[in-house]
Amino acid sequence: MRIKTGTVAVMTMVLATLAGCGRSSAGGLEDSASSASSAPWSAQAGLSPEELQSRWWTWAMSEPEGTNPVADEDGSDCERNQPKDVWFLAGTFGTRAERTCSIPDGVPVAFPLVNLMAGPAVCTSFMSTAKGSAVLDGEEVEAESSRGEPISVQGVVFNPVTGTDERFTTTGCGLWVQLPPLKSGKHTLTIRGQAEDLSVGVDYFLTVDAEDALDAV
């Protein structure tokens, strides 16, 4: 994740393959995720690009730096402020991290590969350099490209993205993944990515357990 003062630009790396144009379907995940068909999960039941980015950024800005899931080094903060209908994953602020997290059974997973909040022109430049790769349980996964949608976000005081609790509207762009619920058991995610001069990597060790399911699920 990167912050550019003035444009409030942030980059996050978590789960996907080499960046491509438009939307592409995730494949090769039958052993890890429950898939109703070969169509992208987001096309079946996921969030719209505007809602996905608005909600993810608000989540990423919902904690101060000391407990923020993007600044998390070992996974101890990955459960903070998770919504009940989707489980968000985060990247880093440009460092490498290894995180161990538990995910409730029956909850879809969503995350950015690289993403940014800025003006339309800055998003265009950013997306021209965005690329990355990720492996879920030995299978590569693909991302959807969002090249610029209006989003509305709000943080808390001392959050590491804006530092304030103001609500504002901006343009969101990036490479995004939405997956159906992962099957119960242990999973690994190996994430590497780049955009402009930033390089980010996250290794996730995930456990999906029905006993950890959210109360509302």
Sorting pLDDT into bands at 50, 70 and 90, what band is 129?
very high
pLDDT at 105 over 70: yes
Where in the chain does DSSP place strands (E)? 87-88, 96-104, 109-118, 131-136, 139-140, 144-154, 167-179, 185-195, 198-209
Residue type, 94: G
Q: 130: which residues sit within 8 A by CB, 6+ positions away?
A: 19, 113, 114, 174, 175, 193, 194, 195
Domain boundaries, the chain: 41-212
- Express each pLDDT in 25-46 by its tens digit: 334 445 566 543 334 444 456 8
Q: Is the pTM of this model over 0.85?
A: no
C-alpha–C-alpha distance, residues 145 and 126, integer Å: 12
Question: What pLDDT score was predicted for residue 17?
Answer: 27
Q: pLDDT band at residue 196, thresholds of 50, 70 and 90?
A: confident
